[in-house]
Amino acid sequence: MPPKAEASSSFPLRLPLGDARLLDQLAPDYALQHGVLPLQRVGALSLVATPDQHVLERERASLERVFGPIAGVSLPRKAIQFGITHMRGQQLANRAAKKTEASESCRNWSSRRATAFTLGFLTIFVAASFMWPTTVLTLVTIWAVLTLVSVTGIRTVGAFLQLRQTRRAFKTWRTTRLRYVSDTNLPAISLLVPLFKETEIASRLVRRLSNLRYPSEKLDILLIVEAGDSQTEKALQQSSLSDSFRVVRVPEGAIKTKPRALNYALDFANGEIIGVYDAEDAPDPEQLRKVANAFADAPENVACLQGILDFYNSRQNLLTRCFTIDYASWFRLILPGLVRLGIAIPLGGTTVFFRRSVLDKIGAWDAHNVTEDADLGIRLARRGYRTEFIQSVTLEEATASVPAWLKQRSRWIKGYAITWAVHMRNPLKLWRDLGTKRFLGFQALFLGSLSQFVLAPLMWSFWLVLFGLPHPISGAVSQSVIVAVGILFLLTEIATIFVAAVAVATPRHRGLIWFTPLMHLYWPLASFASLKGLGELFWRPFFWDKTAHGHFTSPEELPRPSWHQRLAAIVLRRRERYAP
C-alpha cells in the first residue's frame, strides 16, 4: 500500500500521499489541472488515482505515455488535490512566482539601479535649473501640455466613439431576452477569488457567488487563501460552501501578491474559461452565461472579456461619489471606446475572463507586478490577442476614506510605472509588436498619465492666467502663448468634466451628475498618491498595499424593496441596457 498521512482538519480522512518521483515525471501542475495522482508502481503497473472513470479514460493515453500500463483508483478530487500539494505545494508556489518569462516580468527590477538612475537624472535637472531656469521651466511646461493634450485627447475620443455606438444601439430595436448557449454546450468556468484578511466580507462573498446562475457541474469557484491567514479560513469554514467551491491555500513565499496567488490557483482550475473576482464583488447573477455567449460568438483571437465595474456604496460620502464618477467614465465610456479605437488597454483587476489556453501560453500573471491586470492587457495585445467588453455589471465597495484611497491609488500608480518600464526595455520590439497607433496609445495611457500625476501642480498654475495674474514663464514666451496654454488647459478640463457627466447620465447613477464639477477636488488626490507610489519604486517595489473591505452594508443585507420599487428597478434596467 502507498504511504499515508493525516490530512488537515478540513479533510479528516487518511489519504494516500502518492509517489513524489512519479508525480515529478508527470508534472505537478498537470496532475492538479487534470485531477490525477500517481500513487505507486506495482511491478510493471502504475496505480493512478482519478475522481471518476471518465477522467481516467480521458487521460489514459497521456498517462500511459509517461508510466506505461496503468490501473485506476477512485479518490475524491479534494483528496487528490491534498496529496499533490502535500508533496509539491512549495514547488508549485515557487513556480507561481515565475510563470511569466523573465524578459516580460518585473521580478528583476532593481531598486538600487532605479535609485542611481533617478539620482543622476535629478542631479542633472537641478543643475540645469540653476543654470537655465527659464528654459528648463519652459521645456517642462511643453512636456506637461503635450501629455495633457494626448491623455485628454485619447480619453475623449474613446468616450465619443463609445457614446456614438450606444446611441446607435439605443435607436435600434432588439429583444431584451438573452440568448444563451444551451446548458449541454456551456463551457466549464473556473473563478479565481483571492482573499487576504477578508473576515468582514467572506460570508457575504460566498452568498453573492452562490447567486450566479450557471450549472453547478460546470462551475468551479476557487477561494484562494494565503498560508497563515487563519481568520479568513475560519470565516470561510463558517460559511455554507457548496460543491462548486474549493479553498486553495497558497504556501508562504518571498512575496505576497494577488497575481502570485492567482498563478498558484490557476494550476488547480479545471475550467476552459478563467474568471477573476475580488472579495468585495457582487456580480450580476447572469454574468457567467453572458460570458459563455460572448466567447462562443467571438473569434479565436478574442482572449479576454472585461465586465463593467461599479459601486454599491456610491452615495456613502463625497469621496465614494467621485470614485463612482471616475469608474463610470473609465469602464462605461473610455475603455470600451479605446477598444473600438484599436488601442491596447489595461485590464481591470476583477470581472475579467480569459481563455485558459491563452493564459497558459503567455505565462499568466506577472507575480511581482502590483498592477498585474494592466500588464496582462498589454502582453495580450503584443501577441495579437484582443479584449472586448461585455454589458454586465459587477458591484464593488468603493474606498470611502482618503487615507485608504491614497494607498490604493498609489499602488496603481506604482504598478503603471513598473509596467511602462518593463515593456519599454526594448522600445523597438514593443513598436513592432503593437504597431504605431497602439504604441502611441500605450505611451499616452501609461507615460502620459504618470507625467500628469507628477506635473499636475504645474498645470494648475495656469489658473493664474485665467484670473489675469502673471505666470512664472512669462519672461520666456509671449503673453499670447501663455493665454493660449491657459485656454487649452481650460478646454481639457471641460472635456474631462463632460465625459464624466455623460458617463453618469444613466438611471443607475441618477443624481451623480451634479457632483461632476467637484471632480476638481478629487483629481488632485492622485498627485499626492503619486508621491507615495513612485517613492516605493526605490524601497519596496513589490509591496502590495492592501485595501480593507467590508465596512459598508452589502446590497443583500438592505431591506427588501416593495413590489413597486422592484417594478421600477426592472424598468430602469431595461432602459439602461443601451446606456453607456
3-state secondary structure 285-298: CCHHHHHHHHHHHC
Amino acid residing at 478: S
Is residue 363 in a domain?
no
At 136, the pLDDT band (50, 70, 90 cuts) reads confident
**Region 100-126 average pLDDT:** 90
Q: Report the distance separating Cα 103 and Cα 112, nearest Å.
A: 19
pLDDT (tens digit per residue) in 162-196: 998 887 765 555 545 556 667 778 999 999 999 99
User: How many Cα neighbours within 13 Å face the side chain of 162?
Assistant: 27
Residue 410 confidence (pLDDT) above 90: yes
Q: How many domains does the chain have?
A: 1
Q: Which of 546, 544, 545 is nearest to 368 (CA)?
A: 544
Q: Report the distance separating Cα 373 and Cα 89, nearest Å.
A: 25
Is residue 32 in a domain?
yes
**Region 377-388 average pLDDT:** 96
- The SS3 assignment for 393 reads strand
The β-bridge relationship of strands 45-50 and 37-42 is antiparallel
Is residue 328 in a domain?
no
Residues 6+ apart with CB under 8 A from 547: 399, 404, 407, 408
Q: Report the distance separating Cα 318 and Cα 323, nearest Å.
A: 9
Q: φ, ψ for residue 432 (rounded to 5)? A: -65, -40
**Region 188-217 average pLDDT:** 91
Strand ordering across the sheet containing 302-311: 245-250, 219-226, 189-195, 273-276, 352-355, 302-311, 386-396, 282-283
Host domain of residue 84: 4-96
Is residue 101 in a domain?
no
More confident residue, 17 or 486: 486
Q: Which of 60-69, 86-95, 418-427 has the highest mean pLDDT?
A: 418-427
Least confident of 37-51, 372-386, 426-440: 37-51
Residue 74 confidence (pLDDT) above 80: yes
Instruction: Return the pLDDT at 2.
Output: 44
**Torsion (CA) 271, 276, 280, 286 in degrees, nearest 10:** -60
More confident residue, 256 or 171: 256
**Region 471-484 average pLDDT:** 71
Instruction: Return the pLDDT at 483.
Output: 78
pLDDT (tens digit per residue) in 327-374: 999 999 999 999 999 999 999 989 999 999 999 999 999 999 999 999
Residue identified by cell 472579456 is 305
Residue 54's alpha-carbon distances to 27, 50, 60, in angstroms, are: 21, 9, 10
* Burial status of residue 289 (CB atoms within 10 A of its CB: 0-12, 13-18, 19 or more): buried
What is the separation, in whole angstroms, between the first and last Cα of the chain? 63
Q: Report the distance separating Cα 490 and Cα 441, nearest Å.
A: 23
Instruction: Return the pLDDT at 45.
Output: 87
Residue 7 confidence (pLDDT) above 80: no
Q: Which of 350, 373, 376 is nearest to 100 (CA)?
A: 376
β-bridge partners, 225: 195, 249
Q: Which three cell numbers stand for residue 525?
A: 488626490
Residue identified by cell 468616450 is 159
Is residue 29 in a domain?
yes
Cβ atoms within 10 Å of 56's Cβ, excluding its own: 20
pTM, entire model: 0.86
Q: Report the distance separating Cα 450 and Cα 573, nearest Å.
A: 37
CB 339 within 8 A of CB 422: no
Instruction: Return the pLDDT at 556.
Output: 46
CB 224 within 8 A of CB 195: yes
Q: φ, ψ for residue 333 (rounded to 5)? A: -125, -55
pLDDT (tens digit per residue) in 533-561: 999 999 888 988 877 766 665 554 444 55
Instruction: Return the pLDDT at 461.
Output: 77
CB 23 within 8 A of CB 84: yes
Strand runs labelled E in 322-372: 352-355
Q: Which three cell numbers stand for residue 576?
A: 439602461
- The domain that holds 88 is classified in CATH as 3.30.300
Instruction: Return the pLDDT at 508.
Output: 84
Percent of residues, the chain, with pLDDT higher than 90: 51
Q: Report the distance separating Cα 382 and Cα 397, nearest Å.
A: 32
More confident residue, 516 or 181: 516
More confident residue, 82 or 566: 82
Is residue 143 in a domain?
no
Q: Which of 406, 409, 404, 379 is nearest to 552 (CA)?
A: 404
Percent of residues, the chain, with pLDDT higher than 70: 87
β-bridge partners, 250: 226
- Look over the chain and give the mean of its residue pLDDT values, rounded to a whole number: 86
More confident residue, 154 or 480: 154
pLDDT (tens digit per residue) in 270-306: 899 999 999 999 999 999 999 999 999 999 999 999 9
CB 349 within 8 A of CB 278: yes
**Region 211-221 average pLDDT:** 93
Cα 510 versus chain centre, distance: 27
Residues 6+ apart with CB under 8 A from 418: 106, 109, 369, 370, 371, 537, 541
Residue identified by cell 488535490 is 81
Task: Considering only CA atoms, give the Rg of the chain.
Answer: 26
Is residue 297 in a domain?
no
Q: Report the distance separating Cα 417 and Cα 346, nearest Å.
A: 13
Amino acid residing at 337: G
Cβ atoms within 10 Å of 298's Cβ, excluding its own: 15
Q: Which of 271, 262, 276 is nearest to 34 (CA)?
A: 271
Is residue 77 in a domain?
yes
Handedness of CA 543, 544, 547, 548 (dihedral sign): negative
Write out the H or E segment, with its range, that includes residue 523.
none
